[in-house]
Structures are given as structure tokens and as C-alpha cells.
């Protein structure tokens, strides 16, 4: 048994290893990178790590070459792959990836951050992938985990969803698990399997069945809702999800609330024995630990990017059009991000404070997301319509109330974050939200953050932000006003406090806390008799 903490922190936070890496060590080549890599190897010397996620770290471009996989999870996992030297198992999501997997066979060599990695693709058919990703994982699971269903009307768990469960989600999880097993069986050392996110809940159990010696961790990047809300899913599906996850040794979450909800779900929905104090579930004669490790950003490389020439260029451009006060939001166009209510709040701000008209602008820099899923394309349409209405009602020849930009540019996003007077991050529910951490770190003008109390990051940052209930558009309008009009001293205090939280707990801490917990676990669980690869 690992040494168990008693104060509600992760195991890792209690076991300060004399050889811990610097708390905000970068993974850059020639920086602290080699020390982080050495730390991981030193701490878990006898293991072959295998990272498992739906998206690959880099994806082939139709015109040749690679582009980085979208989303905060990939950014974090790239850092992790670089630190651990892991093999990576991902799903071929489109024709380019299917072709690459077929052409090169396994493994495919792909770029990571500064080195390359070995990528192994599971290759479901286009139809299987669509059922798994487009019908079941998004929206059914995603909507459950972010409490997005309008339950009086939806979801209707009909034949299509049952089919997507069996022929999509279960099948693709099976294929991913098989690929992990193939990689684990030829791994030079005992496999350490690190599975990520809601697309792959069934993988841990399937891998354990075939490779009982593996140490398995699953990290859930999205919120874990209450047991009652899980009952939106038929028992067959929710039981399979819990059993799949409980094939892990440790299940990681973003916040302590997620851990509590998970333990309650095991107890209430599956009748399992749970030890709340030790945050453990007893399942199938094993102990499974639940821990929270709030994800973070790479402080050094984000700071370096913020002072790069590319970002400076974007800032010069921004200076040519910005009015005196700037509200910023940066998000994927996902209903969980609550973008429309953010605009409604801004509409109210302009109504209640006409003196701000012409002096403020709301810059929404949004990344179109999952546009092949109907509910996501509808949401983007609603965003455009709402912006159109507000701009035509309040705008004038020389003032545009909302500047809506759709696209992806890391440099532009960082330039926006350096210059916000108010950053609006008001998700309905969010696993963590890395934009708020990036904003806290790089902002250069004592900007104020308006943050939803339902974002995972709120647990760490609440003392340094203006907290809002994301449904309360009146309160959000009021918080925007406070953010825009707060005096220099309190602005500076909030801004500096938020930055300090991020600096003290960057991505290397996210990794090292997990590595320490895994180390404690393996020390207590040598390969048992009868457990062979």
C-alpha cells in the first residue's frame, strides 16, 4: 500500500523527495528539461511508460509535415511524453492519419516538443470513429460530464446511441486497449500505462485483463459529475464506464470535488466499498486510489513565448485598434464554455453603463471546435447571431462593441492575454481551464480575471479573481464592471496573486506529483506471483 495522505492532498504533495525537480523547471533542452527527464527515470527506473490518448501529439497535414494536436490536453501530454520518454498510443482520426498508420506501420516517428516520439495508432474505420467520437463521446458523455443536457427534453437514448455505444465507444476502446497490449508486451520493462480522458474509460480494465503486471493510471481531464447526473446514462453504460476505470491503480482528477463525486458515484451507483479518508475504492480484490492533480502550464516556455518577436508583432497590431478598455475571452466554441451568456452579460453591461460605450471592446478570439457534431455547429451559429445582434444594436460607425475572431493562433492568443483589462472565463462547468492560468501568468497590464466558480481552476485561484456564477448574467455583468473600474492597487494585488499561484504550481509539478504517487504505489506493489506480462 502506498503511504496514504491524511490531509486531502495527493500522495505526492506529502512525500517531498530530496531529488524532486525544481517546481517550475522547464523541459527545454539544455534547461531543466534533462533534469526533469532524469528525475522521472530515477524515480521510476524499472518501468516502460505508455501514454494513451484519443488525439495524437502531432497530426499529419494534408499538404505534408505535421501540426500539433489541438487542445490543452495535448500540450500537457507533450510535456509529459518528453519527460517520460513514453511510447504513445492514439487513435487515427481521419484519412491522413489512417494513411500514415498504414504507410509506416507501427510505430510512427512523430515530433514531440524538442525530440521525437514513437506513436502507435489504433485504426478504427471511419464509421466506428464517428460513432465513438461524434455520437457517443461528444456529445453524450461530454454533455453529461459538463451538466449540459436540457433534461426535460434530452438526451433521448435511442437505437442510434445504443449502437454508437456498442459499435463505436466499446469497439474503439477495445482497439485502443489492444494496441496498448501489443506495445506493453514488447516493452523492455514493466509497463506503466497512462491513459487520458473520457474517450477512453474502458481501456484500463481491458489492459489489466491481458497485462496484469501493468501499473495503470487514468487521468480524467473533465469534471466528474454527481452520482445522480450519471444516471442519465443507462446502467449498462455507466457500470461499464466505472468498471473500465477501476481497472486502474490510480485515477487522477482535476479537483478535490471531482474526487469526492467519483467516490460517491462508486458507492451510490455501483454499491462499492469506499474509504473516503484514504480516497480509495475496493474493487475486485484490489484497491484503487482517487487523487486530484490540477493540470497546469509550462511556465518557462509560456513566458518565453510571451516575450517573443511573434507575440510583440501581434501586440503592435492590437495597439492599432484597441479602445481604452479591453475585455478578452479565448475559448473553443463549446457549449460548456458558456460563450453566449458571456455576451448577454456584456450586453447588460453596455445597457447599465452607457458611459462605457465607445470606450470598451470585447475581443472574443474563438477556435471552432467539433464542427462535424451538430450541436457544436449550431452553437457556433448562435454565437455569431448573438454577436451580430449586439453589434448592430450598440455599434456605431467608429465603434464595434464585440470583435469576434475565429481561428487558431497561439501568438495572437498570448498577445490578447498580455493585454486584457478583464479576462472573462465563465464556463458552465470546466475540468480545469488552462486559458485562465496562461492569462494569469502573462498579463502585463494588471488585468483582472472574472472566473466561473464551476471551473476546476477556481479551486486554486479563487482568492485572486472575481468569482461568478456562470448562469447569473446580472452578476457577470456586475463583475465585468468591477473588473473594468477597479483601482490600480487592488488590480495589481489580484493580478500578482494569480500569477504567483501559477508560477508555484506549473506543469512539472503536475507531472512530479503523479510520478511520486506512482512511485509510492509500485514500491508497495512489486510484481506479484502469477502476474506476468
- Kindly tell me which residue out of 38, 41, 70, 305 binds ligand F6P, with binding defined by CB under 6 A: 70
197 counts as binding ligand F6P under rule CB under 6 A: yes
Closest CA to 479 of 413, 426, 417, 404: 426
- Kindly tell me which residue out of 180, 183, 222, 383 binds ligand F6P, with binding defined by CB under 6 A: 222
- Beta-bridge partners for 59: 67
- Kindly tell me which residue out of 55, 146, 208, 238 binds ligand F6P, with binding defined by CB under 6 A: 55
225 counts as binding ligand F6P under rule CB under 6 A: no
- Kindly tell me which residue out of 43, 48, 256, 369 binds ligand F6P, with binding defined by CB under 6 A: 369
335 counts as binding ligand F6P under rule CB under 6 A: no
CB nearer ligand F6P, residue 204 or residue 431: 431
- Long-range contacts, 499-504 (Cβ 8 Å, 24+): 499/440, 499/441, 499/443, 501/440, 501/460, 501/461, 501/464, 502/296, 502/297, 502/299, 502/437, 502/440, 502/441, 503/24, 503/299, 503/441, 504/23, 504/24
Rounded to whole angstroms, the Cα distance separating 381 from 376 reads 9
Q: Which stretch binds ligand F6P (CB under 6 A): 5-13, 69-77, 79-87, 471-479?
A: 69-77
Closest CA to 119 of 77, 170, 62, 63: 77
221 counts as binding ligand F6P under rule CB under 6 A: yes
73 counts as binding ligand F6P under rule CB under 6 A: yes
Q: Which stretch binds ligand F6P (CB under 6 A): 66-74, 182-190, 298-306, 407-415?
A: 66-74
What 8-state DSSP symbol labels residue 232? T
CB 411 within 8 A of CB 437: no
370 counts as binding ligand F6P under rule CB under 6 A: yes
CB nearer ligand F6P, residue 167 or residue 430: 430
Closest CA to 291 of 263, 315, 328: 263
CB 429 within 8 A of CB 340: no
CB of 220 to ligand F6P, least distance (A): 8
Q: Which stretch binds ligand F6P (CB under 6 A): 6-14, 70-78, 468-476, 492-500?
A: 70-78
CB 130 within 8 A of CB 93: no
CB nearer ligand F6P, residue 196 or residue 205: 196
- Kindly tell me which residue out of 71, 168, 225, 470 binds ligand F6P, with binding defined by CB under 6 A: 71
- DSSP string of 258-307, one letter each residue: HHHHHHHHHHHHH--EEETTTTEEEETTEEEEEEE------HHHHHHHHT
Rounded to whole angstroms, the Cα distance separating 143 from 504 reads 32
421 counts as binding ligand F6P under rule CB under 6 A: no
CB of 189 to ligand F6P, least distance (A): 28
With CB atoms as reference, the residue minimizing the distance to ligand F6P is: 71
The residues that touch ligand F6P, with contacts defined as CB under 6 A, are: 55, 70-73, 197, 221-222, 369-370, 431
Amino acid at each position: 500500500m502506498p503511504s496514504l495522505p491524511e490531509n486531502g492532498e495527493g500522495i505526492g504533495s506529502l512525500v517531498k523527495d530530496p531529488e524532486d525537480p525544481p517546481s517550475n523547471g522547464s523541459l527545454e533542452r539544455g534547461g531543466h528539461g534533462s533534469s526533469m527527464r532524469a528525475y522521472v527515470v530515477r524515480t521510476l527506473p524499472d518501468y516502460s511508460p505508455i501514454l494513451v490518448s484519443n488525439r495524437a501529439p502531432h497530426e499529419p497535414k494534408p499538404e505534408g509535415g505535421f501540426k500539433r494536436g489541438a487542445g490543452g490536453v495535448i500540450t500537457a501530454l507533450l510535456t509529459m511524453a518528453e519527460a517520460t520518454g513514453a511510447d504513445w498510443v492514439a487513435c487515427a482520426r481521419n484519412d491522413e492519419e489512417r494513411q500514415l498508420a498504414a504507410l509506416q506501420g507501427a510505430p510512427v516517428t512523430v515530433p514531440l516538443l524538442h525530440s521525437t516520439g514513437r506513436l502507435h495508432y489504433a485504426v478504427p474505420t471511419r464509421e466506428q470513429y464517428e460513432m465513438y467520437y461524434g455520437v457517443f463521446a461528444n456529445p453524450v458523455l461530454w454533455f453529461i460530464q459538463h451538466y449540459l443536457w436540457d433534461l426535460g427534453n434530452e438526451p433521448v437514448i435511442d437505437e442510434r446511441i445504443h449502437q454508437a455505444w456498442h459499435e463505436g465507444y466499446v469497439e474503439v476502446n477495445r482497439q485502443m486497449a489492444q494496441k496498448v497490449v501489443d506495445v506493453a508486451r514488447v516493452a523492455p520493462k514493466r509497463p506503466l500505462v497512462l491513459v487520458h480522458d473520457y474517450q477512453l474509460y474502458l481501456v484500463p480494465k481491458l489492459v489489466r485483463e491481458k497485462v496484469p503486471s501493468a501499473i495503470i493510471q487514468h487521468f480524467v481531464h473533465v469534471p466528474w459529475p454527481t452520482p445522480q447526473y450519471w444516471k442519465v446514462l443507462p446502467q449498462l453504460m455507466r457500470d461499464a464506464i466505472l468498471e473500465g476505470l477501476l481497472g486502474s491503480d490510480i485515477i487522477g482528477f482535476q479537483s478535490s470535488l471531482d474526487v469526492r463525486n467519483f467516490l460517491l458515484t462508486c458507492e451510490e451507483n455501483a454499491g462499492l466499498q469506499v474509504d473516503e479518508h484514504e480516497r480509495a475504492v475496493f474493487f475486485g480484490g484490489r484497491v484503487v486510489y482517487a487523487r486530484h492533480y490540477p493540470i497546469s502550464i509550462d511556465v518557462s516556455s509560456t513566458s518565453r513565448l510571451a516575450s517573443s518577436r511573434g507575440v510583440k508583432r501581434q501586440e503592435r497590431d492590437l495597439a492599432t485598434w484597441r479602445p481604452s478598455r479591453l475585455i478578452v475571452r479565448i475559448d473553443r466554441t463549446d457549449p460548456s464554455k458558456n460563450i453566449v451568456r458571456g455576451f448577454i452579460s456584456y450586453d447588460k453591461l453596455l445597457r447599465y453603463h452607457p458611459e462605457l460605450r465607445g470606450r470598451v471592446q470585447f475581443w472574443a478570439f474563438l477556435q471552432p471546435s467539433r464542427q462535424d457534431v451538430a450541436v457544436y455547429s449550431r452553437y457556433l451559429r448562435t454565437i455569431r447571431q448573438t454577436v451580430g445582434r449586439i453589434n448592430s444594436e450598440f455599434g456605431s460607425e467608429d465603434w464595434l462593441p464585440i470583435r469576434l475572431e475565429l481561428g487558431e493562433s497561439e501568438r495572437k492568443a498570448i498577445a490578447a492575454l498580455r493585454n486584457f483589462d478583464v479576462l472573462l472565463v465563465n464556463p458552465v462547468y470546466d475540468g480545469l481551464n488552462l486559458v485562465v492560468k496562461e492569462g494569469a501568468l502573462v498579463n502585463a497590464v494588471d488585468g483582472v480575471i472574472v472566473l466561473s466558480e464551476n471551473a476546476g481552476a477556481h479551486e486554486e485561484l479563487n482568492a485572486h479573481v472575481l468569482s461568478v456564477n456562470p448562469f447569473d448574467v446580472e452578476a457577470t455583468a456586475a463583475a465585468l464592471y468591477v473588473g473594468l473600474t477597479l483601482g490600480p492597487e487592488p488590480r495589481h494585488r489580484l493580478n500578482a496573486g494569480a500569477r504567483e499561484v501559477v508560477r508555484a504550481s506549473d506543469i512539472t509539478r503536475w507531472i512530479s506529483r503523479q510520478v511520486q504517487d506512482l512511485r509510492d504505489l509500485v514500491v508497495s506493489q512489486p510484481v506479484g506471483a502469477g502476474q506476468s506480462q
